[in-house]
Structure 1
Amino acid sequence: MFLSLPRLVTAVLFSALLVTTAQAQDNSPAATGPSGGPLAGVAVLQLVVAPLSAESARCGLQADLVKESFQQPLTTEGLGLQKSAHVRIIVKATTVIYTETTCISNIEASAVQNTRYFDRKTGTERAGQVLLWQESGLFVTGERDHVVLTNIGFRDLARSFIRKWKIDQ
């Protein structure tokens, strides 16, 4: 799918507006309000990197580099990582190649927790997931620089998680 240049510019400007709005909301009194949020007491996480597409690979993204970029800020903060934990962070990258040398990647990370509950209507126990946190970003770069900038983006997503985690404690 190829976008016209005006549409691409509109998408980049809209993404910048969303990032600016999200940063403004992070500094709001509600964001720095009382502790005890959904991430309270979380000390161990499971980190999962979703499979990357051929387009992502062509633009230089590699699952091990994505994992390392996201994991480094978490371990620096003292959060433990295990292969199985109650809270799982899922990291994704969706990439399209706009022109022969321009890569566009939407990167996303979300923290979910498995839950079990009793459904009174059916009289059965059910399982599900609760979304605890989510953040994303859009990167439009040349193919040569794409991997470096998106890996910085993954590190920034991890730092966003840490900010939320600290508020909730």
Structure 2
Amino acid sequence: MPLPFLTADRAFEETDDTALPFDDRDHWRRPYRPGPWRVGAGALLLLLASFVLVAAVIIAFAGSLAGAAICAGFAVVIIASSLRLLRMGTWVSARGLRRVGFLTTQTVPWAQITAVRTAQQPVRWLGLPRTVQGQALILVRRDQRAEGQQPLLTDRNADFLARHEAFDRAADSIEVWADEYGRTA
């Protein structure tokens, strides 16, 4: 069963000169593959969920249906968390740019975007409070001040840690989407 949120579009791997090689541009897509840290964390969560489900079956056979239901519910929460973790990132379409976080999703239409640019600045390492010097893809909105800007992507997050070429390719792709649809909006 293919999982479309895990696979990037194959058009980014081909040597195509067009920056937006998609027929259906209204479809939300992530212009990069999820990184090994994000996929590994999702896999570990799914492994933990399988152990919790096995525990739920053992508890059910032992005769405590209420305990089995609690364990199964906990496994469902772990599975949902894993899937949400894998969906996190920056998504683009002809309608705008979408930043998907673990608990929130923010969609910004292209008409509200002034610029999308890459900047050198302190960034959070793997989303932890520790900051290191790195690159960030910054979204500049018309209704937002400069100090309130949050990075869309960083080269130190779970998708791009130790994958600098992938960060550059993803940042360039998102900038092309912003140039293409920012002009027409």
Relative to its length, the structure with more helix (as a share) is 2
State the TM-score, normalized to the length of structure 2. 0.30
Rg larger in 1 or in 2?
2
Bigger relative contact order, structure 1 or 2, given CA contacts below 8 A and separation 6+? 1
TM-score by length of 1: 0.32
